[in-house]
Structure formats: C-alpha cells, structure tokens
C-alpha cells in the first residue's frame, strides 16, 4: 500500500447530501467544493454524485477536465471509509482497489445508521466505473480511515477501532494483523491503543496519528492533563516510543496540538440536522472529534483543517508546525467547520489513488 505522501494519480470524494450528517443547509457542500476545486489544481478528482447532489455539485464545482462526476449511489459521503483502498504492484506498477466490507462503523452492535448497503457496494461500483481492477476482501470489515501506510511495509492502526466488537469479533488480533499484511503487502502493523476522544468511528487512526514520511509521524496532542484527550494521546505516544517500523527504524514523533477550545454541536447545528430512523443523533454541547491530523496530501500540497473563531490561534499554530515539518509542500488552510459538523474531516472525505 503506497504512502499518502507519495505521488497520486487522483482523489475520490462523494458530494454531500445526507441531512443527518451535513444538515439541510449548503455549508458542507460549499466546503466539499472548496476542497475538490483545490485538489483539482494538483491532480484529477473523481466526484460521486446522485440525483439530489448532482445539481449542487454542478453549481459549486469549477469547470475542469480534472473533475470527473460519476453517478454512483451512496448512503453518505465518507469516501475514505467506503471507497477502495488502492494497492500497487512494485514490479509491474499495476494499481488495484480493495473492496472491504463496510457496516457503518459497527453494524448492529454500534453502527451509525441502519441501512449501509449502498456504501458497502461503493468500492466495487467505483472500480467498475473508473476502470480499475477490484479485489474483494470478502467479509472482512474495515474502513480506510482506520489504517495508514508508510509505503515501506508498515501499517498504523488503533486497537480501539480494529478490535471493537462491531468489526470482526470472530477474529483474534493476530488474525486481523495477518489479514492486513496479506491484502496491503505489509510486513508490520503498529497498534496504537486509542484515537481522538469522542470519535464515533471507534477512534480511527487517521484522526490521531499520520505518517509524513517513512519513520516519522505527527500525533494529535494536548498538554492539558484535565482534557480527556491527554490520556489517549499519552498512551499512543508510549506505544510509538516503544516500537520500530518494518525497516527497524525508531519512530520520530512530532506533536500536533488539537484545538485549544473543543469544537461542539450548537443550537443552530441541531436545527439544521435532520435525522432518519435508526440513525445516530447528536445533542447540543456534544464534543466533536476535531483534530489537525485529519489532513490530506494532494501531491505537492497538504490540505489542513481550520476551525476558526476562538480556535484561530490554534489554527495558526497548526499551520506553523506543518509548514516547518513539510517545507517542500504548500500547506493550504481549509475552513473545515462544515465538515467536522458531520463528524469527520478532510482526510475522512477523501481517498487517494496512487500514481
């Protein structure tokens, strides 16, 4: 599995429409459009639409040969988790997509909505429409946001997610690790214990820790010992400091502080949401899993979430840190409030196709 910081052929997004995730306003659609338009300046972008979202997409997206609309039905817009995970044959250069089983982050046990059939079928449908070979992982449940690769044989994941009862309860940790290595061409899995506090995906790794180059990661952090994130990030730091990657290297960890002010659901947000029967709901004051680690590489740039308002100083700090760590890339700040209100962020709504 190539690293996300390697060269990419294209990105995949699904234009937002579900009112239980994004509300009835167009703020999320505008945020998606900004991201798609920005990525399209650096690589191709496949955008999945349905009958209801196509009009908004046509109105908000710039006219470009690099933006390719595909009519594929979905239940929601989390491309990271439902789109194929792409792997590359190092000898031939062939790129193929893996279709994992998707069950809305927990299925009958603790899934977030009741009907996920269209999302589960998305990876195979995308490969068919876009012309990629597709490998089925059978009944193995996995979301793309639960894994990171360094491109050199190391996979990063969290125990909180992959060992949760709603994923693959009949499999042992060793069996899950073997399955990851077999499909992803990996040699080693680094298990972090936890993710971001209140992350409803059972704490995906892509919100708490990410490779920026082989042997080097950024880790979501807080120095506030009273914040529930402190214990979670500290446990991850301990795991990283006591492991090596597939090449035998110690991991260099760069701390990337979370927003100083928790991002929460507001009264106006609640008035905008429209939940379906069987769908997980929200409440005023609920803390959302805001993290600057949820960024996206798009060849020579990185799209970095920004939360604004009281968190403007936190936004600037994150920008400065990322620019110091990746001076060879442009770090592009993106207003991500419209996305975090859905529960995820920039990395969660994107999936890359390697070159």
Give the model confidence (pLDDT) of 266-317 as tens digits.
998 888 888 888 888 889 999 999 999 999 999 999 999 999 999 999 999 9
Q: How far apart are CA 159 and CA 176, in angstroms?
A: 11
pLDDT exceeds 90 at position 85 = yes
Residue 243 in tokens: 């492991």
Q: In the prediction, which pLDDT does 157 show?
A: 99
Specify the pTM: 0.96
Instruction: Answer yes or no: is 322 within a domain.
Output: yes
- Structural domain count, the chain: 1
Average pLDDT over residues 323-336: 98
Q: What is the average pLDDT value for the chain, to the nearest integer?
A: 96
Q: Positive or negative, the Cα torsion across 203, 206, 210, 211?
A: positive
Q: In this prediction, what percent of the chain has a pLDDT beyond 70?
A: 100
> How far, rounded to the nearest angstrom, does the alpha carbon of residue 203 sit from its chain's CA centroid?
11
Q: 285 with 249: CB under 8 angstroms? A: no
Instruction: Answer yes or no: is 2 within a domain.
Output: no
Residue 69 in tokens: 């609309």
**Residue (of 212, 191, 195, 215) closest to 203 by Cα position:** 195
Instruction: Answer yes or no: is 108 within a domain.
Output: yes
Give strand pairing partners of 220: 256
Which residues, including other chains, have CB under 8 Å from residue 283's CB and lie 6 or more apart? 265, 270
SS3 211: strand
- pLDDT band for position 322 (cuts 50, 70, 90): very high
Residue 110 in tokens: 């603790």
pLDDT exceeds 80 at position 24 = no
> How far, rounded to the nearest angstrom, does the alpha carbon of residue 228 sit from its chain's CA centroid?
22
Instruction: Answer yes or no: is 264 within a domain.
Output: yes
Question: Is 348 considered catalytic here?
Answer: yes
SS3 97: strand
Q: How far apart are CA 38 and CA 343, in angstroms?
A: 22
pLDDT tens-digit readout, 105-122: 999 999 999 899 999 999
Q: In the prediction, which pLDDT does 189 show?
A: 99
Selecting among 161, 209, 236, 348, the annotated active-site residue is 348
Q: How far apart are CA 355 and CA 94, in angstroms?
A: 9
pLDDT exceeds 90 at position 26 = no
**CATH number, domain with residue 136:** 3.75.10.10
Q: In the prediction, which pLDDT does 278 show?
A: 86
Question: In which domain, by residue range, is 282 found?
Answer: 8-354
């Amino acid at each position: 599995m190539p690293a996300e910081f390697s060269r990419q052929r294209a990105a995949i997004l699904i234009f937002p429409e579900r009112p239980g995730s994004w509300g009835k306003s167009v703020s999320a659609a505008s945020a998606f459009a900004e991201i798609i338009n920005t990525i399209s300046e650096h690589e191709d972008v496949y955008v999945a639409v349905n009958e209801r979202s196509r009009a908004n997409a046509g109105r908000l997206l710039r006219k470009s040969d690099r933006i390719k609309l595909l009519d594929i039905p979905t239940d929601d817009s989390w491309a990271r988790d439902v789109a194929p995970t792409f792997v590359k044959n190092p000898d031939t250069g062939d790129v193929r997509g893996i279709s994992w089983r998707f069950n809305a982050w927990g299925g009958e046990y603790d899934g977030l909505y009741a009907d996920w059939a269209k999302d589960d079928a998305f990876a195979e449908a995308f490969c068919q429409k876009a012309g990629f070979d597709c490998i089925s992982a059978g009944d193995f449940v996995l979301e793309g946001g639960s894994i990171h690769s360094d491109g050199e044989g190391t996979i990063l994941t969290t125990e909180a997610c992959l060992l949760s009862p709603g994923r693959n309860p009949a499999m042992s940790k060793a069996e899950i690790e073997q399955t990851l290595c077999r499909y992803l061409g990996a040699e080693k899995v680094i298990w972090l214990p936890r993710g971001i506090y209140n992350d409803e995906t059972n704490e995906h790794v892509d919100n708490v820790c990410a490779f920026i180059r082989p042997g080097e990661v950024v880790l979501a952090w807080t120095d506030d010992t009273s914040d529930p994130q402190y214990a979670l990030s500290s446990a991850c730091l301990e795991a990283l400091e006591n492991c090596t990657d597939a090449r035998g290297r110690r991991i260099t960890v760069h701390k990337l502080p979370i927003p100083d002010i928790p991002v929460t659901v507001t009264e106006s947000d609640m008035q905008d949401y429209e939940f379906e029967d069987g769908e997980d709901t929200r409440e005023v004051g609920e803390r959302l899993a805001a993290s600057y680690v949820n960024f996206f590489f798009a060849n020579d740039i990185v799209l970095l979430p920004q939360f604004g308002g009281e968190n403007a100083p936190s936004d600037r700090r994150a920008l400065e840190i990322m620019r110091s760590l990746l001076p060879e890339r442009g770090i592009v700040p993106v207003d991500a409030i419209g996305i975090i209100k859905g529960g995820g962020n920039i990395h969660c709504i994107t999936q890359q196709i390697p070159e």
